[in-house]
Amino acid sequence: MNDLRCSAGSLLHQYAALLQSGRSQAQAWVDLSDHWRSREDAQLLAQICERAASAEQAGLGAVVGLRRSLAEVAAAHRPRAGPVGWSHVVTESRTAAEPAADAGAGPGPGLSLGAAAVLTEVLQGLISIHALSQSTGAPLSRLCRKAADSLEDSAALDAAVRTAAAGPRLTQLILAALPLGGLAMGALMGAQPLAVLFGSTLGWGCLVSGLGCLLLGWRWSARMIRAVTPHG
C-alpha cells in the first residue's frame, strides 16, 4: 500500500497548491476529482475527491464529504491499526462519521487491510487539519503540505522496513529447506535416512521432534518479521 500512501501525499500537495493559487475549496476538489479520475490506479482517491467536491458544492462543506468517505471505508473494512504519522500536524481528530445522504460511488467492499488503513489515515488527517484551520485560522494549504510531507516520510519508512525484512524472510526460507537438503544429501551418501526415520521408534521420535522444532522456529521468525512489517 506504499503506492497508495505516496499517491495520497501527491494529492495533498496538489490540494495545497490549488488553495495557494487562489482556488476555492469547492473548485480545488473538483479539479482534483477530474485529475485523479483519469488515473486507473487511483480510483479510490478520485472517489474521495468527488465526495468532498459534491459536499462543498452543496454548501455542506468538504469535511462532510470526507466523513462520508470515512464511514464507507469503515463499513467496507475495519483496519487493524489506527492512523499514524499526523501527530505533528494536529493534536486531535474528530472522526465521527456521518451516514451518506446520496447514492454516489464510494470505496468498495473489496478494500484490503492495508488500503483501508491508509485511507483511514488520510481521511482522518484531512478532517483534522480542516478543523484545525477553522479553529485557529492557520492556512489550510500550509497544513496540507505538512500532512503530505508526513505521508511521504511514512511511505519512505515503510519501504525501508520492507527492504530490511527481505533478508530475514529469505533466511527463514533457507532454514526451513535445510532439513530437506540434509535428507537428500544423506540419501546420496547411502545413509538411507528415510529408512532410519520411518523404520524405528527412535527414528519416529526424531522425525516428530524435528518437525515440531521446525514449525516452532518458522512461527517464531514469522512473528518477529510481522512485528516490524506493516500489515503483514
Residue 94 has pLDDT above 60, yes or no: no
Average pLDDT, the chain: 76
More confident residue, 108 or 149: 149
The model's pLDDT over 159-169, given as tens digits with 9 standing for 90+, comes to 777 788 888 88
pLDDT in the model for residue 1: 59
Average pLDDT over residues 3-23: 83
Average pLDDT over residues 43-69: 84
The answer to whether the beta carbons of residues 155 and 9 sit under 8 Å apart is yes
- AA identity, residue 150: S
**Residue keyed to cell 473538483:** 30
Tell me the torsion sign for CA atoms 156, 120, 22, 132: negative
Nearest to 122 by CA among 114, 58, 110: 114
Residue 46 has pLDDT above 70, yes or no: yes
pLDDT in the model for residue 41: 66
Average pLDDT over residues 194-198: 84
Write down the domain spans for the chain.
2-160, 164-228
The CA–CA distances, whole Å, from 132 to 129, 137, 213 equal 5, 8, 54
Nearest to 70 by CA among 52, 54, 43: 52
- AA identity, residue 17: A
> Which cell numbers hold the place of 186?
544423506
pLDDT in the model for residue 96: 38
More confident residue, 139 or 228: 139
Average pLDDT over residues 179-205: 85
Q: Which one of 43-47, 87-91, 127-131 scores highest in mean pLDDT?
A: 127-131
Torsion angle of the four alpha carbons 193, 199, 200, 205, in this order, in degrees rounded to the nearest 10: 60
CA distance 225 to 167: 10
